[in-house]
Structure 1
């Protein structure tokens, strides 16, 4: 499908992302060469609710049209929730810190390389995850990775121009006070079999895509349109084994480690046995105590730019 076949295109650019003014100019220059000016509108977010409000308003008034979100995984997740139940095509240009969902869709392609391909797009019906009352596009998790994310966000406010160091410092600080979460887990496999366990884990992730946490690969072979989710967890063990796990967590090598648990499932229920667990859904922070989740097969129309 060609971009100029749409009557209306809404572009939402998160001002929390890097160089958003330059990004807006790049997009406007590109679009003005291939589209009439009255066919698209670029919105810069103004507050924490902007992505949700703009996306919901556009999707409600323009069925069958296209929303393009420019930002990180959090902004993408907010858009998907805002257009729930609407007849709308969703696409994105990555401009966040992790861009983990983009790693699945556009392996090794930069923002500029993807923007070069916007003249046409392929529409795919892809899966989502329902996590309690929220929709999840890429992954939800709790444990070490989420603890690092929370600390990193706190440090960014204090580090100013050195905020790029926030992830490194957050990892170092959380390694000194590791927290494992204990929970009861009931889940359904793809063949309908019900399983139950009690787990004590440093990391737990349920994913639709392959990446999360700025390039970690909990599910290196995941497919986003197969109606199946991927479960990954790190069993509680010695400190040195955690370091070994993290060293291999950016490839499929972690899956061969005894402390790495990996399998496919379609739904589940997680009940914390130790109080609230620090977690996130598509990078948006949450405190979890009870989690009810399931795959929503082919629930989103995703436009993938292919030039």
Structure 2
């Protein structure tokens, strides 16, 4: 049986007391069996998970976060810059839980805890954009506008369906922007409605099937979408037809892999980083290859 000397368990109370108590009851008994000393911290405000991970990360063997993609994003921003980084585990407690899906973690909390505590790990890439870090994706255009346009009330009631409703609304109003992109082997200019830089594979619970995509190969998958028609979205979900590393346009799409890139846009655009909107273009992105060890599913 896998045992850890010290583990840090972080959760957010935002879901409400009844839901939180149910979630904790589903996971803590399984976790506690595998940990000699378990420290449990409840967060109450935005950014607190980052602060906790930064403060405690080098003094613990394992950090487990119970939350959605935003909580995971905060955790990686606290851990990625540490000299000694603990193992990171995700228990899916949000609306979409996209990165946990990438790691083959069950979406049922009790099953997820059982699978994670088997102790299977993998060294994974981390994306860095300017002074921040991300696990899943960075993007501008449609993807950022979709996140901005999600109605908080709809998200609470409809869950992941709210993402699709926002995407449809955003598509109707999408305007192209000018971009300049410098990558390892490519220099691109033109107009687009979205630039998406992927480290993970899921957005809004939808799997984007990038050819030959791996989460530990030191490469981003970059997707440029030229227009906002429904046909373009259909092309996105048929990416297995694209060559694995080709910057030439195929239909309305361009796709290639790179370890770093620089993105400038006109006008300046807000950027979506793992579903969080707090930065804008221009942006410098690099892959930190096999930078964090994470618990993964079967």
Among 202, 206, 219, which residue is 2:210 paired with?
Answer: 219
1:53 matched to 2:44: no
Q: Which residue of 2 aligns with 1:22?
A: 22
Q: Which residue of 1 aligns with 2:263?
A: 270
CA contact 1:119–1:305 (8 Å) conserved in 2:
no
CA-CA distance at 1:72 after TM superposition: 1.6
CA contact 2:143–2:196 (8 Å) conserved in 1:
no
Among 132, 146, 150, which residue is 1:134 paired with?
Answer: 132
Q: Which runs of 5+ in 2 are unaligned?
A: 244-249
Range with greater deviation from structure 2 (133-142 or 172-181): 172-181
CA contact 1:17–1:72 (8 Å) conserved in 2:
no
SS of aligned partner of 2:115:
coil
SS of aligned partner of 1:117:
helix
The TM-score, its normalising length taken from structure 2, stands at 0.86
CA contact 1:9–1:41 (8 Å) conserved in 2:
yes
CA contact 1:210–1:221 (8 Å) conserved in 2:
no
2-structure distance, mates of 1:262, 1:73: 25
CA-CA distance at 1:23 after TM superposition: 1.0
- Call closer, same or farther: CA 1:196–1:17 in 2, change over 3 Å: farther
- Call closer, same or farther: CA 1:184–1:118 in 2, change over 3 Å: closer
- Call closer, same or farther: CA 1:80–1:144 in 2, change over 3 Å: same
Q: Which residue of 2 aligns with 1:122?
A: 120
- Call closer, same or farther: CA 1:98–1:161 in 2, change over 3 Å: closer
CA-CA distance at 1:107 after TM superposition: 6.5
Range with greater deviation from structure 2 (217-226 or 289-298): 217-226
Q: Which residue of 2 aligns with 1:245?
A: 232
2-structure distance, mates of 1:149, 1:262: 22
SS of aligned partner of 1:230:
strand
1:103-252 residue pairs with structure 2 within 5 A? 103-106=101-104, 110-152=108-150, 155-157=151-153, 159=154, 162=157, 164=159, 166-188=162-184, 193=185, 195-217=186-208, 219=210, 221-236=212-227, 242-250=229-237, 252=239
Q: Which residue of 1 aligns with 2:31?
A: 31
2-structure distance, mates of 1:7, 1:184: 49
CA contact 2:259–2:286 (8 Å) conserved in 1:
yes
2-structure distance, mates of 1:250, 1:76: 25
- Call closer, same or farther: CA 1:150–1:301 in 2, change over 3 Å: same
1:263-302 residue pairs with structure 2 within 5 A? 263-274=256-267, 276-302=268-294
SS of aligned partner of 1:44:
strand
- Call closer, same or farther: CA 1:270–1:119 in 2, change over 3 Å: closer
Q: Which residue of 1 aligns with 2:68?
A: 72
CA contact 2:27–2:110 (8 Å) conserved in 1:
no
List, as ranges, runs of 4+ consecutive aligned residues in structure 1 with deviation greater than 4 Å: 253-257
RMSD after superposition: 2.5
CA-CA distance at 1:260 after TM superposition: 1.6
2-structure distance, mates of 1:21, 1:221: 41
SS of aligned partner of 2:197:
strand
